Structure 1
Amino acid sequence: MKKIIISIAMFAIAIALLVAVIVPLANHGRENGVKVEGQLDTVDSQINTLSGTIR
């Protein structure tokens, strides 16, 4: 019985770490990805504008 309680407690700690640490890190990475994608679109449009002017 004691091993079952310890196992449940360890599982609860693992889930708490998942929610408290990994999920916010994943959200932060997703937000940065969206920002970088927008910056890349801006750079692509600027390059296309400049290359059109050169031709």
Structure 2
Amino acid sequence: MIIPLGSLLAGAALGMWRARANGGNWRDMAQWAASFGILFGIVGLFVLIFYSRSVA
């Protein structure tokens, strides 16, 4: 259960970092953080599903 949450937070941090590196304002940082967070959260969810099915 921690894999999707951890990847969501890592994606949000990466999105904020990318927006700040490109000179974005707080709205850009929020949008990039949300989109990267959702993307990484979905990938983390699939990783958790594949891991739990392979172990059981």
The alignment's TM-score, normalised by the length of structure 1, stands at 0.50
Q: Which amino acid aligns with 2:26?
A: I
Q: Tell me the alpha carbon deviations over residues 3-31 of structure 1, each in whole angstroms, 9 at most, x when there is no partner.
A: xxxxxxxxxx5122113322100110011
Q: Please point out which of 34, 43, 52 is paired with 2:45.
A: 34
Unaligned stretches of 5+ in structure 1?
Answer: 1-12, 46-55
More helix by share: 1
Computing the radius of gyration over CA atoms, which structure comes out larger, 1 or 2? 1
CA RMSD after TM alignment? 1.4
Identity of aligned residues (%): 6
Unaligned stretches of 5+ in structure 2?
Answer: 1-23
2: CA distance, partners of 1:29 / 1:38:
14
Aligned length: 33
The alignment's TM-score, normalised by the length of structure 2, stands at 0.50
